[in-house]
Amino acid sequence: MINPKDAHIKPLPMPDADSQAFWLGINEGKLLLQHCQACGHVQYYQQAICRACGSEHLEHRAASGRGKVHSFSVVHRAPGPAFKQDTPYAVILVELEEGPRMISSFVGADPAVVSFDMAVELVCESAGGGVSLPRFRAA
Amino acid sequence: MTLKQTSSTRSLRGKTAVIGAALSAVGRVPGKSALALAADAATKAMADAGIGRGDIDGVLSSHAFAAPFHRFSVAISEYLGIQPTFSNTLQVSGATAATMFNIAAAAIAGGLAETVLVVGGDSLLTGLSPDLALRSMTESRDQQYEMPFGIPVANTFAMTAHRHMKEFGTTAEQFAKVAVTQRDHARRTPGAQMTGPLTVDDVLNSGMVTTPYHKLDCSLISDGGAAFIVTSAERAKALGIAKPIYILGGGECYTHEHIFLMPSLTTTGAVQSSAKAYAMAGCGPKDIDVAGVYDCFTGTVIMILEDLGFCAKGEGGPFVEAGQMTYGGAVPCNTHGGLLSFAHSGMPGSLFHFYEVVNQLRGRCGERQVAGAELGLVHSLGAGFATNATTILGTEATL
């Protein structure tokens, strides 16, 4: 059964064997992308094989941290009590300079300023419990 | 990534038929467990088909948030006193409904079962607190790369709708028109959860949930169950069923798991799933008389109307605005009111679209009846368009 107490706790990433390096990188302020040495594909998120060609030869490289907003949605009604005090906040779909897209949230200014194709840059922020999250602010 | 289209000479066309369909009470139904709602619908569906428990040898179901059995299909079988020799609990979020019909047809055509109970029931409205109901929705997003950012399921769909506005000039008023059209439909549907009059302004003034979606752009939270009896065409004939509704085609497509890997935010896997279903059924979008289009949010309907081929890409907004998704238009859709106004009890929600389309094809919809409806389509989807499934149904005249 769903435990009512859980609904008040913000979910934090639980790194697994695939993603450990990624979350360590975020804690150090770096957004690691996987570059395939066989086909050149660049991917987010972290996994054991290249999604384009299946190669296992993947190399971590830190992203520039620059990107633009491909789409976004400003949340006024939180998904459960854990996020209630944060509203309104902007969830953004960032297209990174290197190509991949990722989900993140906008920080550092009123969410009302977020717009399509807006330039943003990475900020790795502590989310408590020794975990940081990759968020973005206006560039 | 390019998606491969498979072509096959093997086909489900006309090999199976829906011979029974029923709903439990839907909307706010306190005091009934998810299993009780599913069982109630199942019992009524068997009565509708004129068969008994002993005639069922297959059971397919969806999951239930309020009764989180790992094997809901097995639990509901036990509850009903059935020991099926074919069963599975399917889970591809909102697309599950159409996959249940596709898989029931395939199982029967392939000899795994003769008569399959397709069933779902859940009590999201009174069986879970509202916060937990919402939380149960967010938990379907990825724990590492999505959930930590406070992303409700609504938000994934909202980002696609937002991008649709940017790319094609779709407006908030056009989204609202979907809700208004479907409310007009629900007002004529006995048992619908929302039956009060609704205007575009009401939708726009209903409070923002997650931009661009207002409260009334979002589907309901409900209780309710639905059940169907699917059997072979031969068995339907032997039973002397007055109006069997044949499964003519099915197709599915799974383009991504994470919303950030959706190949395009404005074109969905419904393009591929419906292409497969149309090819199997031997028809096209212009031939469809009545449709059930998954409507978790208003913009979802606009995008899917485009991807099912009812209008061109980007023209969904004007299509809806011109009344093309209601009576007298190109394709009456969600004539029961849909998830937006009839009811949305989670996984069973899209089964309500099947119930409506089956009854339209059986000519049982009273004042909602679409005149001369012979060929129907239901499209189910879920998880930020990660999952898409289409089923095409028809009367004997379409065989």
Per-residue pLDDT, A33: 98
Cβ neighbours of A1 in B, within 8 Å:
68
Are B142 and B156 in contact by the 8 Å Cβ rule? The answer is: no
pLDDT (average), residues B319-347: 97
Distance from the first to the final alpha carbon of chain B: 36
Per-residue pLDDT, B3: 46
Per-residue pLDDT, B395: 98
pLDDT band, residue A11 (cuts 50/70/90) = confident
Residue type, B321: E
Determine the residue of chain A that is closest to B146 in CA distance: A103
CA nearest B155: which of B233, B201, B212?
B212
Q: State the nearest Cα–Cα gap between B324 and chain A, in angstroms.
A: 28
pLDDT band, residue A14 (cuts 50/70/90) = confident
pTM of structure: 0.96
Determine the residue of chain A that is closest to B67 in CA distance: A1
Determine the residue of chain B that is closest to A53 in CA distance: B1
Per-residue pLDDT, B26: 97
State pLDDT tens for residues B156-210. Answer: 999 999 999 999 999 999 999 999 999 999 999 999 999 999 999 999 999 999 9
CB atoms within 10 A of CB B250: 26
What b/e string do you get for B331-360 counting C-beta neighbours within 10 Å, with b at 16 or more?
A: bbbbbbbbbbbbbbbbbbbbbbbbbbbbbb
Are A28 and A34 in contact by the 8 Å Cβ rule? The answer is: no
State pLDDT tens for residues B338-368. Answer: 999 999 999 999 999 999 999 999 999 999 9
Helix (H, G, I), strand (E, B) or coil at A41: coil
Pick the residue with more confidence: B176 or A17?
A: B176
Interface test with A, best of B143, B210, B215 (most A CBs within 10 A): B210
Per-residue pLDDT, B335: 98
Helices and strands of chain B, counted as H and E runs:
13, 11
* Separation of alpha carbons B340 and B336, rounded Å: 10
Per-residue pLDDT, B1: 44
Are residues A15 and B144, on separate chains, in Cβ contact within 8 Å?
A: yes
Per-residue pLDDT, A1: 42
Give B246: exposed, middle or buried? Use CB within 10 Å, 0-12, 13-18, 19+: buried
Tokens describing residue B69: 């059995």
Per-residue pLDDT, B134: 60
pLDDT at residue B133 is higher than 90: no
Per-residue pLDDT, B142: 86
pLDDT at residue A2 is higher than 70: no
Phi and psi for B338 in degrees, rounded to 5? 70, -170
State pLDDT tens for residues B208-235. Answer: 999 999 999 999 999 999 999 999 999 9
Q: State the nearest Cα–Cα gap between B221 and chain A, in angstroms.
A: 14
Q: State the nearest Cα–Cα gap between A120 and chain B, in angstroms.
A: 16
Nearest to B143 among A11, A72, A74 (CB): A11
| Element containing residue A22 per DSSP (H, E) | helix A20-27
* Separation of alpha carbons B50 and B21, rounded Å: 11
pLDDT (average), residues A20-43: 97
Are residues A1 and B148, on separate chains, in Cβ contact within 8 Å?
A: no
* Separation of alpha carbons B177 and A121, rounded Å: 37
Helix, strand, coil abundance in chain B, percent, nearest 5: 40, 20, 40
| Element containing residue A94 per DSSP (H, E) | strand A89-96
Give B131: exposed, middle or buried? Use CB within 10 Å, 0-12, 13-18, 19+: middle
Nearest to A102 among B137, B213, B260 (CB): B260
State pLDDT tens for residues B266-290. Answer: 999 999 999 999 999 999 999 999 9
pLDDT band, residue B138 (cuts 50/70/90) = low
State pLDDT tens for residues B50-100. Answer: 999 999 999 999 999 888 899 999 999 999 999 999 999 999 999 999 999
pLDDT (average), residues B100-119: 98
CB atoms within 10 A of CB B41: 28
* Separation of alpha carbons A83 and B348, rounded Å: 28
Per-residue pLDDT, A78: 87
pLDDT band, residue B137 (cuts 50/70/90) = low
Nearest to B259 among A2, A12, A103 (CB): A103
